[in-house]
Amino acid sequence: MRKYEVPQDVGLAGEMCEVNYALNENGEYELVPSYGWEVKTVTLKQAWEEILQSVEDVLEKVKAGRLSPLAYHMVAHQMDEKLLAKYAGLSRWRVKRHLKPRGFRRLKPGILQRYAWVFELGQEELCHVPSSINFSFFANWK
């Protein structure tokens, strides 16, 4: 890659620059700042679309009363039961139970607190879900 070929397509990271290695006019390697590359933006977007789709699916199920708010916060933080169980220090099957509204309603404050800590939310927030998903950086980026 030559210096003039280093892509400068502003992508999801906005104004942030990373560095690329590219050859200068004398054929020597140099560190060249790059705003991003269309190719990367496309694939990154693809990954985010997958994530947002799953968050949306879960949000619908929470609203329909088939899953607990915990399920929403879990996928919104790109976690699955296995990872959440590790963070909360609980066994996987207990986490699984808490993803159901019934299991979630019976939660003691102590356990609730653990989940709240993982997601850095208040206990009150943990029991609620937003009416629609809001990942602002994604919305602004078309």
Partner 1 sequence: MDIDFKHRQSAHCESGVISNLLAHHGIHLSEAMAFGIGTGLFFAYVPFIRVNNLPLTTFRSATGDIIRKNAKHLGVRLLRYRFRDPEEAMHALDRKLDQGYPVGCQTGGYWLPYFPEAYRFHFNMHNIVVYGRRGKEYAVSDPIFPQPVTISRKDLRKARFAKGALAPKGRMYFIQSAPREIDTVGAIHMGIRKVSRLMLKSPLPIIGIRGIRFLANRLAHWPRKMGRERALLYLGQVIRMQEEIGTGGGGFRFMYSAFLQEAAQITKKEELSQLSGELTRVGDRWRDFAVLGARNCKGRATRGDTFPAMAEILHECAERERAIYKELLATV
CB of 105 to partner 1, least distance (A): 26
Contact between 138 and partner 1 by CB under 8 A: the answer reads yes
The helix or strand, by DSSP H or E, that contains position 93, with its residue range, turns out to be helix 92-98
Q: Which is nearer to partner 1, 11 or 69 (CB)?
A: 11
Residue with tokens 């390697």: 29
Q: Angle of helix 109-119 relative to helix 69-76, nearest 10 degrees?
A: 20
Instruction: Identify residues 24-43 at the interface with partner 1 (CB under 8 A).
Output: 27-29, 31, 33, 37-40, 42-43
Contact between 66 and partner 1 by CB under 8 A: the answer reads no
How far is the CA of 43 from the CAs of 37, 47, 139, in angstroms? 10, 6, 16
Q: Which is nearer to partner 1, 38 or 57 (CB)?
A: 38
Q: Which among 38, 36, 26 has a CA at the least distance from the CA of 2?
A: 26
Binding site for partner 1 (CB under 8 A): 1, 6, 11-14, 16-23, 27-29, 31, 33, 37-40, 42-44, 46-48, 50, 77-79, 82-83, 86-87, 135, 137-138, 141
